[in-house]
Structure 1
Amino acid sequence: MTNTKTAFLLLSFLLISACEQREAQHSFSEATFIKRSIPYMHYDVPTELILTKYETVQPNEWGERTTGVQTHFETTEKEIALTFDACGGPHGSNVDRELIRFLQKEQIPSTLFINSRWIEKNTKLFQQLATNPLFQIENHGTHHQPLSVNGKSAWGISGTASVKEVIAEVKENQEKIENLTGSKSTLFRSGTAYYDEVAVQIAKDLGIQIVNYTILGDAGATFTSGQVKNALITAKPGDIALLHINQPKSGTSEGVKQAVPILHEKGFTFVQLHNQNLQ
């Protein structure tokens, strides 16, 4: 792409943004206010501009805590967030129905990060969860890959290998969720929760926040119920717990059941991640 074309795209993008800002000054509907109060939702940068912007940028970081990854939220209350991944794939498309029943019975608001492959295997249940206000539906990727611009791997899983693949891993499942629910997810957690800082910035340009955790709740659904309980009861205000809702044979469900009454006794309440000040 020529420098002239790149400059034209950038100028067009800035002009569109300026128009949106002027429009906002004259429109104060509740819907407009809510949309513009959510971080990173002002606009999506055109894909072609993102490809140009990052095609030669090389990352320097790799891991779960790279620059730009959100791990907790700011609060003055005794609040924590339980988040559950549904990973999909040959060994990840099951459903922990006992855990879902418990969350519903105890009225525990939760945030579910759901992978495209899990949605395909459990479409009816996914739509039921999406209509239940207890559950905030967010994006766990299209192919459950670590988010990388150069193909780095984590836990034996190959990551996305280019800027184009990063965009596809994020956007394809976001669009699937929107088509099925009518709502656009704005939070993302990758398969393995690994990223480089360039991929995180690409997601931000797409209007998406990367969310990881402060509490490793079940270690990829490998913890015993006692380990899950012990992890959760260490919670501090603003913590985000990472758990799984797709492994019914794991200790996750029983561990959550044991931990919730203890956390209630400590004065904690549970919140979803939307409208939280993520840090």
Structure 2
Amino acid sequence: MPPFRSRLAALAFLAALAGAPPARAGDVEPRLVLVPPTAGDKVVALTFDACSGAFDKRIGDYLVANAIPATIFVTHRWIRRNADAMATFTARPDLFQIEDHGEDHIPAVTDRSFVFGLKTAGDLDTVKAEVEGGAAAILAATGVAPHWFRGATARYSTDAVAAIEAEGYRVAGYSLNADVGASLPEKTVARRIAAARPGDVVIAHINQPGRPAGAGVVDGIETLRTAGWRFVRLDDVEAVGK
């Protein structure tokens, strides 16, 4: 089995992986990997963000048709606009684990005003409201309380991470950024996913049906599936990170 990349990789490496500028001092972009149960086990966790916008049925229908499990991070804002998509997820609890992406997709950052053009929380009270609002919406929609949180942009100030964890949530990092906010071309996304290493936690987006990235997500997963890879949700195996 190829060796795992460092569990605490430098922020500069994480930024290069994500195709984004380095996080500013004091901010973090957490990394998360799986611990496969046996050496050489070709296993990855697929995680999808549903920030706002619509539902990419190309991805959703493919996952259902091929019985591929995934962890879906949804905002309350997305839930309100996509009742049919939530019905798709809740109808298959054997496949989909629904986790918290926040109330209104506000970055959990307190030490600057904007991250990638999004207005940040600015203070810990707003961070907690973002987490709790998203969690309440998920509980209402699914009957199951979430226990993972992934903030908008996946960037956090260190005090926000501590506050989120103090509320009992695990912060969901990742190790393979498949689509960089659904901004990449189809073939690039497919290549990124197809190049996954055992234990990777893949992040992609399931809320941009009008962009080419979604087709690349399907193609990349299909490459892994036909090569005998196993797909898991975050709660299916041990996950370790910062």
For the aligned pair, the TM-score class normalised by the smaller chain equals 0.7 to 0.9
> What is the aligned partner in structure 2 of residue 98 from structure 1?
58
SS at match of 2:182: coil
For residues 251-262 of structure 1, what are the structure 2 equivalents within 5 Å?
A: 251-262=212-223
> What is the aligned partner in structure 2 of residue 130 from structure 1?
90
How far is 1:192 from its partner? Answer: 0.7
> What is the aligned partner in structure 2 of residue 266 from structure 1?
227
What stretches of structure 1 of length at least 5 have no aligned partner? 1-58
SS at match of 2:107: coil
Residue 42 of structure 2 corresponds to residue 78 of structure 1: yes
Tell me if structure 2 keeps the 8 A contact 1:151–1:162.
no
Residue 78 of structure 2 corresponds to residue 118 of structure 1: yes
Structure 2 CA distance, aligned partners of 1:251 and 1:231? 14
Amino acid at match of 1:131: A
Bigger radius of gyration among the two: 1
For residues 108-187 of structure 1, what are the structure 2 equivalents within 5 Å?
A: 108-132=68-92, 133-187=94-148
> What is the aligned partner in structure 2 of residue 202 from structure 1?
163
4+ runs of 1 displaced by more than 6 Å?
none
How far is 1:254 from its partner? Answer: 1.7
SS at match of 1:100: helix
SS at match of 2:28: coil
Structure 2 CA distance, aligned partners of 1:84 and 1:250? 15
> What is the aligned partner in structure 1 of residue 28 from structure 2?
63
How far is 1:257 from its partner? Answer: 2.6
How far is 1:152 from its partner? Answer: 4.1
Tell me if structure 1 keeps the 8 A contact 2:55–2:208.
yes
How far is 1:230 from its partner? Answer: 0.6
TM-score normalized by structure 2?
A: 0.82
What stretches of structure 2 of length at least 5 have no aligned partner? 1-23
Tell me if structure 2 keeps the 8 A contact 1:60–1:196.
no
TM-score normalized by structure 1?
A: 0.72
Tell me if structure 1 keeps the 8 A contact 2:29–2:173.
yes
How far is 1:127 from its partner? Answer: 3.3
How far is 1:151 from its partner? Answer: 4.3
Compute the RMSD of aligned alpha carbons: 1.7
Tell me the percent identity.
31
> What is the aligned partner in structure 1 of residue 185 from structure 2?
224
Tell me if structure 2 keeps the 8 A contact 1:112–1:135.
yes
Residue 201 of structure 2 corresponds to residue 236 of structure 1: no
Structure 2 CA distance, aligned partners of 1:154 and 1:117? 19
How far is 1:277 from its partner? Answer: 1.8
Amino acid at match of 1:63: V
How far is 1:126 from its partner? Answer: 1.1
Instruction: Name the structure, 1 or 2, with higher relative contact order (CA <8 Å, separation 6+).
Output: 2
Structure 2 CA distance, aligned partners of 1:148 and 1:101? 34
Tell me if structure 1 keeps the 8 A contact 2:204–2:217.
no
In proportion to residue count, which structure has more strand?
2
How far is 1:96 from its partner? Answer: 0.8
Amino acid at match of 2:46: L
Structure 2 CA distance, aligned partners of 1:248 and 1:95? 6
Tell me if structure 2 keeps the 8 A contact 1:60–1:197.
no
Deviation larger for 246-255 or 214-223: 246-255
Tell me if structure 1 keeps the 8 A contact 2:56–2:208.
yes
Structure 1 CA distance, aligned partners of 2:171 and 2:177? 16
Amino acid at match of 1:266: A
In proportion to residue count, which structure has more helix?
1
SS at match of 2:99: strand
